Amino acid sequence: MTMRTLLFLALIGLYFSLSAQETINYPYNPDSDSSGDIVIGDLQDFLITYGNNFSPSEIQIDGVGLLQVIQGLQNQLDDIFVETELAIHDLQSENDSLSQQVIDLQNHITGLASNTSIDSLSQVISYLDSSLNALTPFVLYSGCTDESAKNFDPNAVNDDGSCDYLAIGDFHQGGIIFYLDTNGGGLIAAPKDVGVPNWVWGCSGNIPGADGTAVGTGYQNTLDMINAYENWSCDYGAANYCADLNLNGYDDWYLPSSDELYHIWLNIGGGNSYGFGNLGFFYFDYSNYWSSTEVDGENGFSGNTIDDWDSIAHPLDKTWTQSVRAIRSFN
């Protein structure tokens, strides 16, 4: 950053500091009624003071005397110039260090140029290698080097502090992030329900393995449901719909477990824990959604994504029709 740039930023800050003062009270204002015109009433108010002593008071800015305001601005300007000088000194020191390394490299190569022995050439190569390593931070590309950041730059060598990380509510990889784990991954909900809300959970009967409730179990629940229903010749249901979905370039969707459905409600639905409101655009008229969690042979777990999560009886007959919102995971 050049000195001109630093000084420009300093003056911009000073300008905003001054422009922030809103109320200026003058020692005498002939427009006593603040009408914008000097009329008879203003003159009458003035005549009251005729023949009396008049000592003008100090101009007031937001209740503070003008001299005090000027002194405060001068102090701010002094501080800005001190900070600017320090910044320039640091930049100059870095530049001097780099320049000296280049000079040392040139001098060393010049001193060895007349000696063409194998040992001398080896010294040159070794010195070049160490010098390039020292100069690398100054010449190599800078950017975000954290692979977990959404603006990760694989070409960057120096991290410049620009990394921007994924957050709940971001649109990412085909849908809306509603859950993040501690390893840089998370869960994404499809941005909308596809089709009308008339999907059954499936037919009656216990499905081994489809009782997972925790975050991370929805995918296996979905596989277990599909495998079981293929053998039972059940109607096309919620799990099949999610597994067959190809949306926004992704085809690895599945039916969420009960806890995954809860986090949908909590973070991008009626729970509104992040202040997004109904970010997931869930239907108010059909706000009950199927999860992939089996309660028993007759019931699946259904959750309300709009209203109070505990306001409905979650176990629901598998043959009833409910809305379905597919999810997928990312690492």
Q: Where are the domains of the chain?
A: 3-23+62-104, 171-330
CA distance linking residue 179 with residue 176, whole number of Å: 9
* pLDDT at 68 (0 to 100): 79
**Higher per-residue pLDDT: 124 or 290:** 290
DSSP 8-state secondary structure symbol assigned to residue 19: H
CA distance linking residue 204 with residue 260, whole number of Å: 23
Confidence tier at 221 by pLDDT (50, 70, 90): very high
- CA–CA distances in Å: residue 91 to residues 6, 82, 94, 139, 158: 12, 14, 5, 15, 18
* pLDDT at 255 (0 to 100): 96
The per-residue pLDDT for range 53-112, each reduced to its tens digit, is 767 777 777 777 777 777 776 777 667 667 767 766 666 666 566 667 667 666 665 665
The per-residue pLDDT for range 2-31, each reduced to its tens digit, is 444 544 455 455 444 545 445 666 666 777
CA distance linking residue 205 with residue 233, whole number of Å: 12
**CA atoms lying within 13 Å on the CB side of residue 10:** 21
CA distance linking residue 143 with residue 153, whole number of Å: 6
* pLDDT at 282 (0 to 100): 82
**Higher per-residue pLDDT: 247 or 195:** 247
Supply the mean pLDDT for the chain: 78
CA distance linking residue 298 with residue 56, whole number of Å: 90
């008879």: which residue's tokens?
40
Asked if 224 and 294 count as a contact pair (C-beta separation under 8 A), the reply is no
DSSP 8-state secondary structure symbol assigned to residue 282: -
* pLDDT at 330 (0 to 100): 94
Global pTM reads: 0.55
Element (H, E) at 43: helix 40-47
Q: Where are the alpha helices (DSSP H) in 171-319?
A: 218-232, 238-243, 258-268
The per-residue pLDDT for range 148-162, each reduced to its tens digit, is 888 899 988 888 899
